[in-house]
A = this chain, B = another copy of it.
């Protein structure tokens, strides 16, 4: 759908308030178009840089008055083109809303504006003995992480955004400022709107700030790398540890290809094999005990000796290697476009799911590698595609469709943490059927004119954008 040009009156209403922070510069619009993986970018027609809640309200009300789509934008690190301007409109860049509003050490929570990144928050918390654990790898904004219900490498121990967002301030599609929960640790006060906005991908309103649960920085931390004879062995070790309630802080699977890529990029010298990257948090005794307990399980599955990373710099290097493994894999095929799948299945089915996926990949016409948050049942296949090779791209589509179908058949989900955006809309219907119609019903109730990040999550929006 080609969007009409934005009305001059609309643009002047925004620029009166924002000055040079409202721009239609082509370069800035292109920066805000998302894409990058398997989906092409869809640049907005203008970008508004908001620095206060009042400015968000001003932009939303102007968009509501003129029926202009509004797409909240944080760091632009989401992977399913969540920030693409499907129907044109304004990208609302919240990176200037980067104030840490309160840290309540005694209550172990904090309230931050939507544009604060997780690394900025953790840097701020460095001296107070607390940290915010959710770590999707990318240095996303916390508002963006809430919007996509992000999780990551530490979710096994600390939960994801679903569990760690205690409250939020949202600007509704009508430009109202609401705060649907207070700061108590638990509440039975009406519908859980907080968790409705977490994962709504900006389609129900703009998250202006979030109140987050913080966790005590662990007294001791130890990370280790452990090689296994097979994907099944590595995965089964983690599944067994989870079933025994062994408190792993992180348990990440990297296949042989990923290890080779990491070794190439970071000179890490890990044995080229199916491998787990592990982390243990706790009192020093606990860390030792849990590592020994896991070591025993790993040995039963043929795991090798732990290669320890005990010092902070070593650990940082280890997790940098893990988080950049996807990028490192790009070296396998220079110029390739990466596409990351994201299924998540019950952990009892994970090893089987990975083994079957590997069998599918054996005949794939593109290089690929598997990375997994295996303690949660979630793994990513990174496909390295030649974007100009239509046959190869079609094979990738077929591969992902089969992967998603298998995950659903195993009672799992098409997306453990990346969200629906543009890329998983059909998969969402396959997964949840009639429940999607109920979601659309809520969408229409909260955004009757369909201005909030239109075109995302749902295949067609029966909205009335009629002025």
Q: How far, in angstroms, from A52 to B155 measured CA to CA in the complex? A: 36
Interface residues of A in 224-265 (CB under 8 A from B): 239, 243-245
Q: What is the 8 Å Cβ interface bit string for chain A, positions 411-438, against chain B (1 contact, 0 not)?
A: 1111111111000100010011111101
Interface: A178 (CB within 8 A): yes
Q: In the bound complex, how far is the Cα of B413 from the Cα of A183, in angstroms? A: 8
The contact of A244 among B187, B204, B216, B444, by CB within 8 Å, is B216
Q: Residue A190 at the B interface, CB < 8 A?
A: yes
Q: Report yes or no: B193 in contact with A435, Cβ–Cβ below 8 A.
A: yes
CB neighbours of A348 from chain B (8 A): 104, 106-107
Decide if A139 is an interface residue (CB 8 Å cutoff).
no
The answer to the question of A453 belonging to the interface, with a C-beta cut-off of 8 Å to chain B, is: no
Chain A contact residues, majority secondary structure: loop
Which residues of A, 344-386, contact B by the 8 Å Cβ criterion? 344-348, 376-378
Closest to A378 in B: B186
Could you give, for residues 103-120 of chain A, a 1 whenever the CB lies within 8 Å of some chain B CB and a 0 otherwise?
011111100000000000
Question: Assuming the A-B contacts A185-B377, A188-B148, A199-B192, are A442 and B439 also in contact, with contact meaning beta carbons closer than 8 angstroms in the complex?
Answer: no
Say whether B346 contacts A413, CB under 8 Å. no
Query: Which of A162, A191, A199 neighbours the largest number of chain B CB atoms within 10 Å of its CB?
Result: A191
Q: List residues 149-168 of chain A with CB under 8 A from any CB of chain B.
A: 149-151, 155, 160, 162-163
Residues from chain B with Cβ under 8 Å of A151 in the complex: 186, 188
Verify A185–B445 contact, CB threshold 8 A: no
Please state if B415 and A189 are interface contacts (CB–CB under 8 Å): yes
Known A-B contacts A189-B431, A428-B189; A411 and B150 likewise in contact (beta carbons under 8 Å):
no
Q: Is the CB of B184 within 8 A of A411?
A: yes
Q: In the docked arrangement, what's the CA distance between A331 and B348, Å?
A: 51
* A contact set with B: CB distance below 8 Å: 104-109, 148-151, 155, 160, 162-163, 172, 176-193, 195-196, 198-200, 204, 215-216, 239, 243-245, 342, 344-348, 376-378, 407-408, 411-420, 424, 428, 431-436, 438-439, 441-442, 444-446, 457
A-B contact pairs, 18 of them (CB 8 A): A106-B346, A109-B346, A149-B187, A151-B186, A162-B186, A182-B413, A182-B432, A189-B428, A189-B431, A190-B435, A191-B196, A192-B198, A192-B199, A193-B438, A193-B439, A196-B196, A216-B244, A216-B245
